[in-house]
Amino acid sequence: MMRTQVAIVGAGPAGLTLAQLLAVQGIDSVVIEARSRAYVEKRIRAGILEHNTRDVLIESGAGARLQREGLVHHGIELRFDNQAHRVAMSDYTGGRTVTVYGQTEVVKDLVNIRVAAGLPLYFDAKAVSITGADTDSPVVTFEHDGTITELHADFVIGADGFHGIGRQSIPADQISTIEKIYPFAWLGILADVPPSCDELIYANHPNGFAMHSMRSPSVSRLYLQVDPSDDVKNWSDARIWSELALRMHTPGWDLKTGPITDKSITPMRSFVASTLRYGRLFLAGDAAHIVPPTGAKGLNLAVADVTLLSDALTGFYRTGSEKGLEEYSETALRRVWRASHFSYWMTTLLHVDPNANEFDRALQRSNLAYVASSDAAKTSLSENYVGLAVIPKGKV
């Protein structure tokens, strides 16, 4: 039997960032993670930090390496019809930027800080049940080294991703979910080659979407739209590079190639649960919502959720006020829906939908031309991309 103030299930960006924010406030937490430390620190995910996400990580004391190694970007490039169109995001957002820094690196930094501080973080520890969420002392039961342990807490946070136990522990009549599955997936690669661009490239091509991102001055991250039923075995390195070059082609631009070190296919979905609270159990990050990766909002939403939760829990422990806890779900979901729309919009703007008819394709072309030429459209793209600040009630 163990006891803490806040039991956090899942050591992804949501759980680890929350544990760090709570530690800064002097609130105890225990983090339970089903996977090994090596697995969690190797998982390759997206890599764009919104302006606010960067600030939160720095203010929490987890931003030292991010400030040294993160690549600050002021714009992105859209490509279609073999032409490039820059969107100068900082110009449209009063100087705001995004930082290219792998989610994997964020996770490594947060794990290091927690381990160095000697604060409780259990790997290879799978939560098997969450009980008593409708009482004042919920319990997470977890399995670690063949032993079953009961972790008693004031609050439980389900930060355990889409397939976790957190959302499943809410009675079915207390939660509803909304989902959209897209008819395409992303083949993502990591390659030991300097990026062929200074800013991220998002390209639309008749063969499908392609994008060029990066992790460092010597490592590139690139993606290709593929069919969800496709298999990485069908994609030799040579085929990947030639398809990337074809889909992103503009006159005079060359794509540098190099050894591919990671290859995977990820399906795309939008998913939103509500509400995100059941008694003393709160959901955050991918446990609560999924966005398609176009626009890279997943990590940023997770950090926004736990920033609200940290404020709400701090308010509770300082003053006994439950206001923040009561408002959490509604406040978090306003941002989630805004990001869901933006991610959907970026996705439909740039991908080739196999089910699209002539009308849909004509609208997409018109939309691409509009975004490339209108300051109003670029302002909208930019403010969503760098990330909206607090979204007040009634605004969205």
370 catalytic per annotation:
no
263 catalytic per annotation:
no
Q: Cα(115)–Cα(198) distance, rounded to whole angstroms?
A: 35
Closest CA to 151 of 282, 4, 317: 4
Pick from ligand APR, ligand PHB, none: which does 138 bind, CB < 5 to 8 A by kind?
none
CB-nearer residue toward ligand PHB: 27 or 299: 299
Beta-sheet pairing, 6-9 with 155-158 = parallel
180 catalytic per annotation:
no
Q: How far is the CB of 98 from ligand PHB (least distance, A)?
A: 9
List the catalytic residue out of 13, 51, 73, 278.
73
98 to 127, contacts with ligand APR by CB under 6 A? 103, 126-127
Q: How far is the CB of 296 from ligand PHB (least distance, A)?
A: 4
**Which of 17, 294, 300, 310 forms a contact with ligand PHB (CB under 6 A)?**
294
**Which of 6, 7, 8, 14 forms a contact with ligand APR (CB under 6 A)?**
14
Binding mask 296-335 for ligand APR (x = CB under 6 A): --xx--x---------------------------------
Binding mask 265-294 for ligand APR (x = CB under 6 A): --------------------xxx-------
**Which of 15, 164, 293, 387 forms a contact with ligand PHB (CB under 6 A)?**
293
CB-nearer residue toward ligand PHB: 202 or 278: 202
292 catalytic per annotation:
no
Beta-sheet pairing, 219-226 with 277-278 = unpaired
Question: How far does Cα 258 stand from its chain's mean position?
Answer: 27
Closest CA to 150 of 164, 132, 163, 168: 132
Q: Cα(189)–Cα(394) distance, rounded to whole angstroms?
A: 41
Among positive and negative, which fits the CA dihedral 167, 14, 289, 105? negative
List the catalytic residue out of 101, 122, 182, 202.
202
Q: Cα(269)–Cα(343) distance, rounded to whole angstroms?
A: 10
DSSP string covering 218-284: TEEEEEEEE-TT--GGG--HHHHHHHHHHHH--TT-------EEEEEEEEEEEEEEE-SEETTEEE-
188 to 227, contacts with ligand APR by CB under 6 A? none
22 to 51, contacts with ligand PHB by CB under 6 A? 46-48
Residue 213 is a binding residue for ligand PHB (CB under 6 A):
yes
Sheet containing strand 289-290, edge to edge, reads 83-87, 76-80, 200-203, 210-216, 219-226, 176-191, 260-274, 289-290
CB 128 within 8 Å of CB 143 = yes
Residue 221 is a binding residue for ligand PHB (CB under 6 A):
yes
In angstroms, how far is the first alpha carbon of the chain from the final one?
44
> Is-cis flag, bond preceding 275, omega within 30?
yes
Q: Which residues bind ligand PHB (CB under 6 A)?
A: 46-48, 200, 213, 221, 293-296
Q: Which residues bind ligand APR (CB under 6 A)?
A: 9-15, 32-35, 40, 45-46, 103, 126-127, 159-161, 164-165, 285-287, 298-299, 302
- As annotated, the active-site residues are 73, 202, 293, 297, 385
